[in-house]
Chain A
């Protein structure tokens, strides 16, 4: 069981690097939605005794992150006529390198952290921290509104992985609440994207500086 879990977590890490390396937004959305769906599967694996609530959360996660959110975002993408992240702050290659460094940092750090249950899946904590850091890298280096959303999704995926450690302690309501938040957030942003496009005739969030007082 643990080896399967670790293998899946490694796939999550690889997906992180892939997300950093691609410059096509379509591919980015697809890879992140696949990552979200994969996390739903991992959640089922982490739990030794499956209960209805766990299955419900996993199913809802797969449905929302794997299908609903990508569908909304693809639609927004079509309306906004954007295909590529044309000018990221750093090149895709540099992003991948940065992501690799972040992953290594996360693995090193996870060994040092004073956690209560050390042996619950060796890679769970490093994957979580690495995914969060990758989310931050996407957020800080990409400028299109939609890639920003993707960054938040990756960030949330990282937090979701960490939440698996606490699944016994965390009530179902919280998990569902987080999913709802995520869904509403993406839903709203996808609508706003259209308006940003119309108001600033670009999706570059740097133009929002003009809103500063």
Chain B
């Protein structure tokens, strides 16, 4: 009981953390400090509740009467929500600390209080989404979350690009909510109440419709391809700690929604899992392919988030297939991979966004091809960024590896072992997973090579330096968590297993055990060995080459007399071979100059990778709707007389219907 109340109190603290600042003067820093203090206090309180409920049984259902005509205020914390709640109580609080210097009140007097208000509301409403056990309450919290994220992400709304990204986000999120409203209405029709309790039995067609509505509605939020259109723009436009929360936590609310609904629905035909596996594979491969083509630091990270959502969805798909076919080991590995990756991505992606924020903060540019040579200027940020990048590529000994490894194990098991029947179609997805892994490495090699190595490509970089401690500390915490989870994954496994059992609700769900299938001890041992090996190599190289004796000279420049610092491999040239490989999907456009004669004039070359779905499909659709729909403006005559005539027409029709004795 007390765990739930702790979490509810935490939700209140988080939601209203930005309010005191609104009552204070514009330039006073105290309001922002109070907001951060409230965020941290609320998060600690919430974490105490999470820790109590991660372990075992569901906390009791708490119901409070409310004045609304439908729905109830019903909340409950079970291991599945507790797992996601942990993320909500970690990342936003760290982001808030980061924001103290990143978005300092004295430098942003006009927007800081608004940002603080909606940032806190975003965190609180996400927690509310996770504990809600009633469809109406869930939808209310969901909408508050969507709107709070909109206002937090569009803080710099004097920039037209930010406003555009905000509009796209707003349209996409409401398209998703529309599906969710339809889903809850159907849920109410099928089960007789808005309560989110496991349904007893329902026709397969109804359950299938509910499932598709859930995947579509929550897919908009999670960023499943091709519903991801809002994601890159909004993440690029938002302040970096808001991007961190959106990418690290808010996308996971979509994942949570799909997990919760699949847990509640009684029957699970195999095609459900197949759909999720396919969607996950497509999202993963396309997401990372788009990421490679990006030239904007934060857009690249946003596309990489889409890729990671793909991996999580693949895990969930495998678990669903396992549930349909009654295979606890597939459920354990698939769900284990998905849940671990939820946490992993929730740690390393905020780390990367905070690192990107530090770069943006000191150089004021997100363009990869204007950066370069940051490693010498911001060594601390580079260390954290590399840790995050290694983790996101799924390389040992960091945490990204563990989740993907479980997924590989699970996918290989679908081939069938000995006498056990398999489901080999699912194993084909392992190929996609391998491709994603390789391309993620390519993508982050490009990113780190362009941003941190080489020499500075523009003057923007010159005055860059490492950020103050309040911005470093959150990164340190996140990086530490990445390393810890990578080296000792067995600490997280019991919580994941509990959540998996809650989700699966199989007859033999007690037999779900990840530790029995996957040799986690070996991960720790080999991880530690790898760290030791790297340490020894570093030591040897330090001893062998005691000082930096490398001579520095200009690269051979084909005899060109005046080399400039722009003459390096650019980010787009590093990714070009892979972009060309996926040209059918990415549709890169480039403007190549035509060169005539011996002494040509100066010319420019430009290449861009736009979002194929957004710029190629959605926006043209909206534009044609914009051309067609104004025809209905004929109805808007702006004459009172005409409007009254409309009313008369309707009244007469209604009277006629009434006179016919019909039921209007």
Shortest Cβ distance from residue B363 to the other chain A in the assembled complex, whole angstroms: 43
A155: nearest chain-B partner, CB-CB: B644
A139, B129: Cα distance in complex, Å: 50
Shortest Cβ distance from residue A120 to the other chain B in the assembled complex, whole angstroms: 18
Residues facing A in B622-648 (CB within 8 A) are 636-642, 644-645, 647-648
A143 touches B661 (CB 8 A): no
B659 touches A208 (CB 8 A): no
Instruction: Please give the number of chain A residues whose Cβ is less than 8 angstroms from any Cβ of chain B in the complex.
Output: 21
Partner of B659, one of A109, A205, A212: A109
B658 touches A114 (CB 8 A): yes
B647 touches A113 (CB 8 A): no
A209 touches B639 (CB 8 A): yes
User: Does B655 sit at the interface, judged by CB under 8 A?
Assistant: yes
Shortest Cβ distance from residue B626 to the other chain A in the assembled complex, whole angstroms: 16
Partner of A129, one of B641, B644, B655, B660: B655
A140 touches B655 (CB 8 A): no
A143, B661: Cα distance in complex, Å: 36
User: Does A174 sit at the interface, judged by CB under 8 A?
Assistant: no
A212 touches B638 (CB 8 A): yes
A29, B655: Cα distance in complex, Å: 29
Shortest Cβ distance from residue B17 to the other chain A in the assembled complex, whole angstroms: 40
B641 touches A205 (CB 8 A): yes
B659 touches A112 (CB 8 A): yes
B638 touches A211 (CB 8 A): yes
Partner of B640, one of A114, A133, A205: A205
A205 touches B639 (CB 8 A): yes
A153, B647: Cα distance in complex, Å: 16
A139, B645: Cα distance in complex, Å: 8
B663: nearest chain-A partner, CB-CB: A114
A209 touches B641 (CB 8 A): no
User: Does A95 sit at the interface, judged by CB under 8 A?
Assistant: no
Given the known inter-chain contacts A112-B659, A113-B659, A136-B647, please indicate yes or no for A148 contacting B638, CB distance below 8 A: no
Given the known inter-chain contacts A148-B640, A208-B638, A211-B638, please indicate yes or no for A140 contacting B659, CB distance below 8 A: no
B638 touches A140 (CB 8 A): no
Secondary structure of the B contact surface, majority rule? helix
A109 touches B648 (CB 8 A): no
B660: nearest chain-A partner, CB-CB: A112
Given the known inter-chain contacts A206-B639, A209-B638, please indicate yes or no for A140 contacting B658, CB distance below 8 A: no
Question: Which residues of chain B are within 8 angstroms of A139 by Cβ–Cβ distance?
Answer: 640-641, 644
B633: nearest chain-A partner, CB-CB: A212
User: Does A10 sit at the interface, judged by CB under 8 A?
Assistant: no
- The 8 A CB mask of A132-171 against B (1 = contact, 0 = none) is 1100100111010000100100000000000000000000
B661 touches A140 (CB 8 A): no
A112, B661: Cα distance in complex, Å: 8
Shortest Cβ distance from residue B64 to the other chain A in the assembled complex, whole angstroms: 33
Question: Which residues of chain B are within 8 angstroms of A86 by Cβ–Cβ distance?
Answer: none
Shortest Cβ distance from residue A34 to the other chain B in the assembled complex, whole angstroms: 24
Question: Which residues of chain B are within 8 angstroms of A205 by Cβ–Cβ distance?
Answer: 639-641
A31, B117: Cα distance in complex, Å: 59
Shortest Cβ distance from residue B18 to the other chain A in the assembled complex, whole angstroms: 35
User: Does A14 sit at the interface, judged by CB under 8 A?
Assistant: no
A114: nearest chain-B partner, CB-CB: B661
A208 touches B655 (CB 8 A): no
Residues facing B in A165-191 (CB within 8 A) are none
B649: nearest chain-A partner, CB-CB: A136
Given the known inter-chain contacts A109-B655, A112-B659, please indicate yes or no for A140 contacting B641, CB distance below 8 A: yes
Task: List the interface of chain B (C-beta within 8 A of A).
Answer: 636-642, 644-645, 647-648, 651, 655, 658-661
Other than the given A109-B655, A133-B648, A205-B641, 12 more pairs (CB < 8 A) read A89-B641, A114-B658, A129-B655, A140-B645, A140-B648, A141-B641, A148-B640, A151-B644, A206-B641, A208-B640, A209-B638, A212-B636
Can you list 23 A-B pairs with a CB-CB distance of less than 8 A?
Answer: A109-B655, A109-B659, A112-B658, A112-B659, A112-B661, A113-B655, A113-B658, A136-B647, A136-B651, A139-B640, A139-B644, A140-B645, A143-B641, A148-B640, A151-B644, A205-B639, A206-B639, A208-B638, A208-B639, A208-B640, A209-B639, A212-B636, A212-B638
Task: List the interface of chain A (C-beta within 8 A of B).
Answer: 89, 109, 112-114, 129, 132-133, 136, 139-141, 143, 148, 151, 205-206, 208-209, 211-212
